[in-house]
Amino acid sequence: MSEALKGNMLIGQSGGPTMVINASLVGAIEEALRHPEIGRVYGAVNGMEGILAENLLDLTHEDRSIWEKIKVTPSTALGSCRLKVKDKHLERVLDVFRAHAIRYFFYIGGNDSMHTAHQVLQVAEAEGWEMRVMGIPKTIDNDLAEVDHCPGYGSAARFVITATKCIDKDNQALHPVQFIEAMGRDTGWIAAASRAAREDPEQDAPHLIYVPERPFDEDCFIEEVKEVYARLGRVLGVVSEGLRRPDGTQVTASTKVDAFGHAQLGGMGQYLVNLVEERLDLKARWDKLGTMQRSFAYCMSESDLAESYEVGRLAAWHATRGVTGKMLTLLREPGDEYLCTFGLTDLENVAEQTRYLDEKYVCQDRPDIDESFLDYVEPLALGRRITIGPEFITLARLKCYPVEKKLPEYKP
């Protein structure tokens, strides 16, 4: 173990929230507070945007009792951002670190966030500013490289499974053809989770599952809907928002892009409804799960919460022992009983990489997910749920003690 590095800690949250992202935040904070070499624990308001604006909170002032409540509060307690950090931003970032004696920096996010953390590490090393930089994984998309699964996915999967089961009952009553649109710009992990909702293979939804890893063809889609409708007199399908045609283009992509160059997607569910109504003359409707699949805390998974806390805690623990430039990984041990262990990988191994739904889980001859996927997803999603409150969730928020700014106002 290297000599203790004394200084302050800064932590930020980035990208789309999850039900359990605050558990990682709390894990890192509570572990940091155990180490005397870490002076103050600061939080960046809205991630890198807050760092550039020197908009920091002193989390050391917060009442220690708040963290257990924040831990089970969905979304980001510090706020989030989707800022693509460029070279022009990095000098300012380092100025903020120097001004506030930041020697420990933790960034919670997905693959773009790991790229950002790697950039910060590189500029700190180039400028001779000694610090420890650690990435803490999260994403409901479950698409990070180097891991078996991502913190946040299990709870989102649980919500999709629950929603599919319940909407299936509604579909039986009134709606002959219906689609559920799940998140998943590039990968089908979230929509695939709905497979666990099907108990009776002949009757229960989802009857069709469409994911980006299986090319989408309109004519095949119409025939697939016709077959299910002829057999059951109704159809309930689950679809990822980012379906792709055989040539690789996204079906509903618009010309608008976000800060990272990702095309903004239109309503895939509405697109499928239009196809059915125009070509089959059947009544159809769709439901968009939207942000509920990442924020509906009543579906928080116990294993997801525990693992999310642990990756945050371990990030701080490793950093105080001299580790830097790494992201925590979640690994599944072989065997009949589910067991997750934790490791480390270089930030650059995860930065801007995408892990797609495994080929073995995608049925290429039909719009479905192989039964073997259940062994993968059920331990993550269907363990005992978290009891947050007897009737209504009590959500917590930080009191927010701002840190005095020491630099001139930032003008982008």
Cβ-proximal residues to 223 (8 Å cutoff; 6+ apart), any chain? none
Confidence at residue 175, expressed as pLDDT on a 0 to 100 scale: 78
Distance CA 68, CA 125 (A): 35
Are 183 and 140 within 8 A, CB to CB? yes
Distance CA 13, CA 32 (A): 16
Confidence at residue 205, expressed as pLDDT on a 0 to 100 scale: 97
Q: What is the CATH number of domain 153-296+361-381?
A: 3.40.50.460
Q: Which segments of the chain have a pLDDT < 70?
A: 1-3, 253-266, 384-393
Distance CA 154, CA 139 (A): 10
pLDDT one-digit tens code per residue, 355-389: 999 999 999 999 999 999 999 999 999 875 555 55
Confidence at residue 62, expressed as pLDDT on a 0 to 100 scale: 97
Residue closest to 283 by CA, chosen among 177, 180, 206: 177
Confidence at residue 220, expressed as pLDDT on a 0 to 100 scale: 97
The chain-wide mean pLDDT, for the chain, equals 93
Do the bridges between strand 362-363 and strand 132-137 make them parallel or antiparallel, or are there none, so unpaired?
unpaired
Confidence at residue 98, expressed as pLDDT on a 0 to 100 scale: 98
Are 215 and 244 within 8 A, CB to CB? yes
The alpha carbon of residue 227 and the mean position of all alpha carbons in its chain are separated, in whole angstroms, by 35
Q: Which amino acid is at 206?
A: P
CATH class of 7-139+299-349: alpha beta
Burial class (CB in 10 A: 0-12, 13-18, 19+), 307: buried
Confidence at residue 122, expressed as pLDDT on a 0 to 100 scale: 97
The CA–CA distances, whole Å, from 232 to 176, 204, 284, 319, 346 equal: 9, 10, 15, 57, 50
The 3-class SS string of 337-390 reads CCCEEEEEEEHHHHCCCCCCCCHHHEECCCCEECCCHHHHHHHHHCCCECCCCC
Confidence at residue 253, expressed as pLDDT on a 0 to 100 scale: 62
Distance CA 398, CA 383 (A): 29
User: How large a percentage of the chain has pLDDT more than 90?
Assistant: 89
Is position 148 annotated as part of the catalytic site?
no
Q: Choosing from 58, 95, 112, 141, which is the catalytic residue?
A: 141
- Asked if the domains at 7-139+299-349 and 153-296+361-381 fall in one CATH topology, the answer is yes
Distance CA 79, CA 397 (A): 11
Are 244 and 251 within 8 A, CB to CB? yes
Place of tokens 């978290």: 386
For the chain, give the longest Cα–Cα distance: 72
Tokens of 153: 């996915």
Confidence at residue 391, expressed as pLDDT on a 0 to 100 scale: 56
Confidence at residue 1, expressed as pLDDT on a 0 to 100 scale: 47
What residue ranges do the domains of the chain occupy? 7-139+299-349, 153-296+361-381
